[in-house]
Structure 1
Amino acid sequence: MSLTVFDKIISDRGSRYAVSGGPAKTRAEVEALLRELCSNKRFAKATHHSWAAILGGEQVKDDDGESGAGALILQMIERAGLADHVIIVTRWYGGKHLGGDRFRHVADAVRHYLAQL
């Protein structure tokens, strides 16, 4: 697997964000990348791993408890024309609700990832 990770890219009111991803053609490959990410103890302790991908034309996403995050990631992947690639936004919850700012942070994390491709 080829997982690319950008850690500690956003911090706000105690919450911290990272973004990662890699090529994936099937749901099984997405799961393998998530397992690889969580094999790192720091990432295994994260609160949320929201992700999305377009796999063989099928749109798949998982909010992992961060309501709406998967849909936002998917929308940005669609706009970028990125297929057979998963993007995962990881959040460590810092104890304070961020309200709408959390969507801005998810979008900023995805933008950071896409800029590196």
Structure 2
Amino acid sequence: MRVFDRIIADRGSRYAVSGGPAATRDEVAALLAGLKRSRRFARATHNSWAAILSGEPVKDDDGEAGAGALMLQMLQRADVRDHVVVVTRWYGGKHLGGDRFRHVADAVRHYLRETGLDSRGPS
């Protein structure tokens, strides 16, 4: 699993993005469990994720309403399959409104760019 920590900070909230290959829900669960073995990630306010597993779109907002859908849409556009992306947020005490969606999108873009998944062809 690749982890890019502390990539965005806004009004006290902090964001990280992580991910790795996953072809099944069990593999997604294993990657999430591995991430949460770190006390820092286990204590995060939200660990939202999305993936396209064997052609099936799956997501979990983990309380960050709409985050999973946005992430899934971005993965579909980039044609990233059998790979889970997790956006982690530590809430800083101030509501971000619509800016939280911009931060989720920026985190996913960061992950796709840094891992080279933004430039690969169809799987």
TM-score normalised over the length of structure 1: 0.98
Map of 2:80 onto structure 1 = 82
Tell me, what secondary structure is at the counterpart of 2:97? Answer: coil
Task: Tell me the amino acid that sits aligned with residue 71 of structure 2.
Answer: I
1:111, CA displacement in angstroms?
A: 0.2
Query: % of aligned pairs identical?
Result: 75
Between the aligned partners of 1:41 and 1:50, the Cα distance in structure 2 is 17
Q: Does 1:104 align with 2:102?
A: yes
- Aligned partners of 2:40 and 2:102: how far apart in 1? 23
Offset of 1:116 from its aligned partner?
1.2
1:19 Cα offset (Å): 0.1
Structure 2 counterpart of 1:19: 17
Question: How far off is 1:109 after superposition?
Answer: 0.2
Give the secondary-structure state (helix, strand or coil) at the position aligned to 2:69.
helix
1:111 is paired with a residue of what secondary structure? helix
Please identify runs of 4+ aligned residues in structure 1 that moved more than 3 A: none
Q: How many aligned residue pairs are there? A: 115
Residue 42 of structure 1 pairs with residue 32 of structure 2:
no
TM-score, normalised with respect to structure 2: 0.93
Q: Please give the root-mean-square deviation of Cα atoms over the aligned residues, in Å.
A: 0.4
C-alpha displacement at 1:39, in angstroms? 0.2
Unaligned regions of 5+ residues in structure 2, if any? 116-123
SS of 1:113's equivalent in the other structure is helix
Paired residue for 2:49? 51
Q: Structure 1: give runs of 5+ residues left out of the alignment.
A: none
Structure 1 distance, partners of 2:25, 2:19, is: 13
Per-residue deviation, residues 13-49 of structure 1 (Å, max 9, x unmatched):
0000000000000000000000000000111110000
| Distance in 2 separating the partners of 1:21 and 1:98 | 24
Q: Distance in 1 between matches of 2:36 and 2:87?
A: 13
